[in-house]
Structure 1
């Protein structure tokens, strides 16, 4: 049987050549399209300002207020009567209070018995460490030496703080702890005055001031035979036990 295909008419023998020609043509067209330059056309912009001549405004209607003219001044009387002064007016003479060189001033004689002399006590504050005679706390009167009275005073203050100490409930809830430094004065009457505090929180400071303010009245300290004010310092620790 004879083949139907002509061996001389083979179509696929030049396919690679046709592929190369087609590829070259596509690349050429693509390159030409990329090289084309397009310029934007200049656009003309015209600004138009419209002016309107028909401006109509409503003019408010004003009313002129006409005030009446003031009344004429009173006319003078036809007959003028002349009244004579009946009451004599006394003139007040003001004398000068300035003194001259001719004015003599008498020396004032003061009797020494008429002068009252008041003794002014100086508010002297002496530190507790150098006071000559320390304040005597109730219960320390039988001690003889000043060193013993100082130690007794310190012990009594410590006992008073422990006895009257109360931890503030709000400070307990907030877990506030710390040391409050206190400084106060025992005046010449033996009373606690001028309490100064410094601590980590106002709750602790208020409690410390309350404890010190409740100290009993003591026998005041003495310096050179006179009662004087004595300055005393003490810290109070607020510690929470676990």
Structure 2
């Protein structure tokens, strides 16, 4: 009986400690938005270089219709400057969103965002205009 009580107490204690770890992780944000940070992430060379990179690498998908509009893309800039979790928030169809994702995933490492002097993960959104 003592062995079962000891085992029960061990399992209960382990559960309490693992719950404490989960609560600490919940308090730490997964990522910040650009409005919440002190220093925004930056493409190497700035915004003009970023859009030059996109223009050079983006291939407008073939379509019977003329493709015109804006695509909105959101992604995470990691603390090491790498790009993760690329998603389309607004697409104009015809494969334009998939092509935008392909190009964004080709980005070189960015200068990461900062909050209180510490590098943080930042969610970043950009529009891409197709004319």
When normalised by structure 2's length, the TM-score is 0.68
RMSD across aligned positions (CA) = 2.7
Separation in 1 of the partners of 2:69 and 2:42?
30
More strand by share: 2
More helix by share: 2
Give matches, 1:82-101, under 5 Å.
Answer: 97=1
Q: 1:217 to 1:165 in 2, by over 3 A?
A: same
1:219 aligns with 2:99: no
**Equivalent pair of 1:124/1:229 in contact (CA under 8 Å):** yes
Q: Between Structure 1 and Structure 2, whose CA radius of gyration is higher?
A: 1
**Equivalent pair of 1:220/1:227 in contact (CA under 8 Å):** yes
**Equivalent pair of 2:44/2:50 in contact (CA under 8 Å):** no
Separation in 1 of the partners of 2:29 and 2:42?
20
Separation in 2 of the partners of 1:160 and 1:215?
8
Separation in 1 of the partners of 2:128 and 2:42?
22
**Equivalent pair of 2:61/2:94 in contact (CA under 8 Å):** no
- Which sections of structure 1, spanning at least 5 residues, go unmatched? 1-96, 100-117, 140-152
Separation in 1 of the partners of 2:84 and 2:119?
15
Separation in 1 of the partners of 2:2 and 2:116?
53
**Equivalent pair of 1:180/1:200 in contact (CA under 8 Å):** yes
Q: Which residue is equivalent to 2:59?
A: 166
- Which sections of structure 2, spanning at least 5 residues, go unmatched? 4-20
Higher relative CO (Cα under 8 Å, sequence separation at least 6) belongs to 2
**Equivalent pair of 1:124/1:228 in contact (CA under 8 Å):** no
